[in-house]
Structure 1
Amino acid sequence: MSKSTANQPEPFIVLPTSTHTHTLILLHGLGNNGQKFGTKLLSTGISSKGLTFTSAFPGTKFIFPNARKRRSSAFRRAVINQWFDIASVADPSHRRDTQVQGLVESAEHVRSIIAEELETIPRGNIVLGGLSQGCAMSMAALLSLEFPLGGYFGMSGWLPFREDIEDVVAPVKEEDNPFADDEADGEVIEPPLMAVGLVRDILSLDTATPSKEKTSLTTPVLLCHGEDDEKVKCKLGEEAVQCLSSLGMQVTWKCYAGLGHWYKIPDEIDDIFEFLEAIL
């Protein structure tokens, strides 16, 4: 265990009510913590059939990791729980350099939790996700993995370094590429794999070019967002969908009218349950 992982707060864990078959790892939002978020989601996230997460999925272990306390550039250097520093909530791409250290440390923490779960259940039985900044953090961690998971769902979030990923994926015209002749005889790397390499580089992981089989790109994804989200604009969620889709990922998008920065009951819970039932 590395020093950065060892210093992470312990996650809030809700054990399954029957034989353990699956694990959901869900990250909280900015300023929140695992216990508050987990307790709230598991008690208020009720479907139209009256089911909670624990009653709908009795064999599932729920893990709600805790972010470290960090000084916030967006909130006058206040010390709050956050997965990575962010200079502007309205524009997550602003001063992206401030985000890197937290992204690196938190991704390592999330990856270590996944590795621990893999000791008891197959990777196809693990689902990753989160809300708000927890959605952003878990999405970055997902793209860094060397294998697919059973699924991923995010609520009211965005994709960190989306613009950089899109730049890698966007086709470059031959006349705009000064190295075109040099690359003609070399190995051609598919843009989605280049994007994965970029994310792994940002997260200080091995950047050796992976094969598609050794990425998470076949993981089914569900992204949900409130149309009236005043904190993380719905457009940021839409842009994340477009970016992940450009990598060849299977992405389902749900947008809810009249919803702000939270999850919609029961509509969004129904959609999440339907997604989980289809993939698990």
Structure 2
Amino acid sequence: MARPACNRDPHFSGGDHQPGNPALVVNPSARHTHTMILLHDLASHGGIFGRDLLKTGRASSGKTLDGLFPGVRFVFPTAQRRACQALEGAKVAMWFDVASLRDPGQRQDLQHKGLCVSAREIAAILQWETKLVPPGNIILGGMGQGCATALTVLLSLGYRLGGVIGMSGFLPYQFELEMNTAESSSDDDDDDSMTTSDGHAASPRLDPVVKAQLFERSLLQLRNVDNPTKDKTSFGTPVFLGHGTDDQVVSVALGEQATVALRAAEYQVHWRRYANHGHGYKAPEEIDDIVEFVRTRVGLEPREG
């Protein structure tokens, strides 16, 4: 059987040097300045997602993301194959297990193991890419479950990224995260003296973004950073979240809830709803918004000529 034409493109490679499962890598056609790591949805594949996005995800100009940003190296990892409870145990590529496709909050205990493993895999890819470009020149993101995984990784990081892009996604353990970032806020407000009633030094007040990091790293079974402070988190990483109002796979309400939770954790989130659109990215409107986000928030100018 003949291989797809894009496999013969010299800018495409198997990504065998990447940690974890092989990733589809689209090498830059100009000097490498930035990297974009994008995670596929449940039951998809890095190669399928990447090729579709770079073929059908066209901006109003008619150009694709790799054409608009020739200095970007695109990395599309593939998740491990796991038995999916929502699909009666069928094995599919997914970042974590789910009990219900419509309600990702159902049986969250099923998600935990996959999230822990996947977060480490994505962190390893991030570490690899930081050998090539600075962390501030790396954009992480994904669609559906890939978006959910990217947001989880973002909250656990100890450094700022260039940006995060989420399409038709949600935030795992969103309610628990909000409870942890908000807990003891009244006590913190009253603790101006930074001392306890017996004269001993009180624990320093923690910023919401630090509380979010501590929650996520505990959830992912990662060691906490020493003396956690805001400058040891991913604070300052801009986030773009886009969602179709008619999404029947991941409700737009879940995207809105993720936006609220991230903003409560002090992240700047650019939220966009797309009318009369279902699951997945909407071209050209959402692609235009992503390009503008990369231009204004990451500081990478698209090549329009």
Q: TM-score, normalised by structure 2?
A: 0.85
SS in structure 1 opposite 2:294?
A: helix
Q: Partners of 1:266 and 1:112 in 2: how far apart?
A: 32
Distance of aligned partners of 1:102 and 1:168 in 2 relative to their CA distance in 1, 3 Å threshold: same
Does the Cα contact within 8 Å between 1:156 and 1:237 map onto a contact in 2?
Answer: yes
**Does the residue aligned with 2:87 lie in a helix, a strand or coil?**
coil
Please report how far the alpha carbon of residue 189 of structure 1 lies from its aligned counterpart in structure 2 after TM superposition: 2.2
Q: Is the 8 A contact 2:208 2:264 kept in 1?
A: no
Task: Give the aligned CA root-mean-square deviation in angstroms.
Answer: 1.8
In the alignment, does 2:288 pair up with 1:262?
A: no
State the Cα distance separating 1:188 from its structure 2 match: 2.4
Q: Please give the per-residue CA displacement for 1:209-228, whole angstroms capped at 9, x wherever unaligned.
A: 52111111210000000000
Report the equivalent of 1:194: 211
Q: Note if contact 1:21-1:59 (Cα within 8 Å) is conserved in structure 2.
A: yes
Residues 207 and 230 of structure 2 are in contact (CA less than 8 Å); yes or no, is this contact kept in structure 1? no
Shift of 1:277: 1.2
Mapping of residues 164-203 of structure 1, within 5 Å = 164-172=176-184, 185-203=202-220
- Secondary structure at 1:74 match in 2: helix
| Equivalent-residue separation in structure 2 for 1:60 and 1:48 (angstroms) | 20
Task: Return 5+ residue gaps in structure 1 as ranges.
Answer: 1-5, 175-179
Aligned pair partner of 1:228 in 226, 246, 254: 246
* 1:13-49 deviations in Å (ceiling 9; x for gaps): 0100111111000000000000000000000110001
Q: Is the 8 A contact 1:198 1:207 kept in 2?
A: no
Structure 1 partner of 2:263:
245
**1:171 deviation in Å?**
4.8
Segment of structure 1 superposing worse, 205-214 or 236-245: 205-214
**Does the 8 Å CA contact 2:40/2:142 hold for their aligned counterparts?**
yes
CA contact (8 A) 2:19 2:125 kept: no
Task: Tell me which amino acid in the other structure corresponds to 1:204.
Answer: Q
Q: Distance in 1 between matches of 2:59 and 2:26?
A: 19
1:48/1:202 CA distance change after superposition, 3 Å? same
What secondary structure does 2:85 align onto?
Answer: coil
- The change in CA–CA distance for 1:44 and 1:73 in structure 2 (over 3 A counts) is same
Percent identical residues = 43
Match of 2:222 in 1: 205
- Letter in structure 2 aligned against 1:198: F
The runs of 5 or more residues in structure 2 that have no matched partner are 1-17, 188-195, 300-305
Q: How does 1:1-280 map to 2 (within 5 A)?
A: 8-172=20-184, 185-208=202-225, 209-278=227-296, 279-280=298-299
Which is greater in Rg?
2
Report the TM-score when normalising by structure 1: 0.92
Residue by residue, what CA displacement relative to the aligned partner does 1:186-213 show, whole Å, maximum 9, x if unpaired? 3322333112101011111112452111
Counterpart residue type for residue 18 of structure 1: A
**Alignment CA distance shift 1:181-1:140 (3 Å):** farther
